[in-house]
């Protein structure tokens, strides 16, 4: 076991980790936007929109995310939409994360009792005011643990983007291994990097959650 | 003109007729207590007055305005009609002060500089001035219900509706809520209450309305109604409530 030959590739490893983080954060942000919009549509009154969102959720939750990335990267160009590897992975992972986020956010919204909405309405608040000030904060708290778990799964899942040659951490690891033939050392190092990033995000989410959701839980 | 005029309202949930032609007037400053067995339509009637439920037929007027025909003005209407629920319905993520000031601030009834003073005022009126910085979850059931009342009072309503507000409370906490309601009654607030507290109904109400099978079955002053019920249904209800 010798880790020294990897030392000269430290910059590539750091760059790969940064690309992994960028991929995760971008996909998570778009995925959450899709999640909120989809949750509102699922709870809405327009039936065709509900069917569309339901179809999207089932499609992306019941097919391999590697195939989703391949379709965006290899198939869309035949329809005139050619995306570079990083952007293609972002689109596919956003849609994948969004499909899970819709259900998570919807379950958060559904967890708020109807009586809370009525109490807000009875005070003369508008529908938007009730949603923004009464429904959303506790709904976010209820959805928060599941969203953050899904975020960590997304972080780990970005390694699939290596298959379309996006320069993320796993792809960089493959490159270093092909140059050094140090398989164990290379994968031990990137395993540790993924682990460290996941634990760091968990700690960050715990801090953010404690600061954002300070009210006591119901007994 | 009565403050609340209810004319022949009907309400169905699916195939179940819950209200079958209810008519009732409530004068300004009057305290009307609605009693009756579970399923007699009492709570539905209150919810119809505040437009939380639509009506299938008939009309309700509050201060002369048709409630269900003016849905565009519903927000303004609800600012004048407070309702307190059995389950308190405080917002758990907001401290007591914010629970009280949220609606006055968002509807423009007060501004940030006066909001805390408003919360202090209404909390003092329900005996909870020292709880202004508490979370709802840190309060007892009775205290939460008094905060819910204070939250309504902050909107300076013209009419208060109370829907079985003591039913979810432990017996030792009922008294503190009833005292607050008695104080409001003494100050001339127009109140419609659904309650199972017969002692309170007898002592505080100007008029008792007994509902049975979705209709106003019998009504009158408490002393007369409790002493000499005219219908066997009310007699049986009073006997069972003792």
- pLDDT per position in chain A (219 positions), as tens? 888 888 899 999 999 999 999 999 999 999 999 999 999 899 888 999 999 999 999 999 999 999 999 999 999 999 999 999 999 999 999 999 999 999 999 999 999 999 999 999 999 999 999 999 999 999 999 999 999 999 999 999 999 999 998 999 999 999 999 999 999 999 999 999 999 999 999 999 999 999 999 999 876
Q: Are B174 and B142 in contact (CB under 8 A)?
A: yes
For testing the chain A interface, which of B93, B99, B153, B192 should be mutated: the one with the most A CBs within 10 Å? B93
Instruction: Give the global pTM.
Output: 0.85
Nearest to A19 by CA among A136, A175, A138: A175
Contact A137 B93 (CB under 8 A): yes
Contact A215 B87 (CB under 8 A): no
CA distances from A109 to A31, A132, A171, B231 (A): 17, 11, 38, 48
Does B94 contact A at CB distance below 8 Å? yes
Contact B93 A122 (CB under 8 A): no
**Chain B positions in Cβ-Cβ contact with residue A122 (cut-off 8 Å):** 50, 52, 78, 81-83
- Confidence check on the interface: ipTM exceeds 0.95, yes or no: no
Residues on A contacting B at a C-beta cutoff of 8 Å:
115-116, 118-126, 129, 133-134, 137-138, 141, 213, 215-219
Using CA atoms, how far apart are residues B52 and B89, in angstroms rounded to an integer?
15
Does B106 contact A at CB distance below 8 Å? yes
Contact A118 B94 (CB under 8 A): no
Q: Are B182 and B20 in contact (CB under 8 A)?
A: no
């Amino acid at each position: 076991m010798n880790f020294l030959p990897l030392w000269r590739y430290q910059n590539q490893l750091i760059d790969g980790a940064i690309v992994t983080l960028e991929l995760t954060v971008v996909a998570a942000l778009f995925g959450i936007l899709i999640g909120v919009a989809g949750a509102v549509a699922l709870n809405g009154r327009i039936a065709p929109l509900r069917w569309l969102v339901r179809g999207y959720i089932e499609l992306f939750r019941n097919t391999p995310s590697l195939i989703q990335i391949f379709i965006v990267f290899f198939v869309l160009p035949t329809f005139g939409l050619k995306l570079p590897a990083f952007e293609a992975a972002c689109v596919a992972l956003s849609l994948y994360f969004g499909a899970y986020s819709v259900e998570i956010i919807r379950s958060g919204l559904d967890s708020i009792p109807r009586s809370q909405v009525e109490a807000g309405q009875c005070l003369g608040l508008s529908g938007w005011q009730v949603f923004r000030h009464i429904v959303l904060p506790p709904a976010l708290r209820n959805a928060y643990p599941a969203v953050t778990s899904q975020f960590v799964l997304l972080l780990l899942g970005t390694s699939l983007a290596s298959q379309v040659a996006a320069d993320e951490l796993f792809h960089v690891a493959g490159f270093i291994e092909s140059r050094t033939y140090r398989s164990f050392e290379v994968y031990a190092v990137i395993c540790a990097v993924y682990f460290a990033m996941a634990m760091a995000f968990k700690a960050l989410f715990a801090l953010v959650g404690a600061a954002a959701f300070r009210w006591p839980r119901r007994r | 003109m009565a403050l609340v005029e209810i004319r022949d309202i009907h309400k169905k949930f699916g195939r179940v007729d819950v209200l079958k032609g209810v008519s009732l007037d409530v004068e300004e400053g009057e305290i009307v207590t609605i009693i009756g067995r579970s399923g007699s339509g009492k709570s539905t009637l209150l919810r119809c007055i505040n437009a939380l439920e639509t009506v299938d037929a008939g009309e309700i007027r509050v201060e002369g305005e048709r409630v269900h025909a003016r849905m565009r003005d519903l927000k303004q209407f609800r600012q004048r009609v407070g309702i307190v629920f059995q389950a308190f319905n405080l917002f758990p993520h907001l401290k007591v002060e914010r629970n009280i000031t949220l609606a006055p601030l968002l509807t423009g009834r007060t501004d940030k500089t006066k909001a805390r003073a408003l919360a202090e005022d209404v909390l003092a009126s329900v005996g909870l001035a020292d709880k202004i910085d508490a979370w709802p979850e840190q309060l007892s059931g009775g205290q939460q219900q008094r905060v819910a009342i204070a939250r309504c009072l902050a909107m300076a309503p013209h009419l208060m509706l109370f829907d079985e507000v003591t039913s979810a409370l432990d017996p030792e906490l009922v008294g503190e809520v009833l005292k607050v309601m008695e104080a409001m009654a003494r100050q001339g607030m127009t109140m419609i209450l659904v309650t199972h507290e017969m002692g309170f109904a007898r002592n505080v109400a100007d008029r008792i309305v007994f509902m049975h099978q979705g209709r106003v079955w019998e009504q009158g002053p408490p002393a007369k109604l409790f002493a000499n019920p005219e219908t066997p249904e009310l007699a049986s209800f009073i006997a069972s409530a003792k």
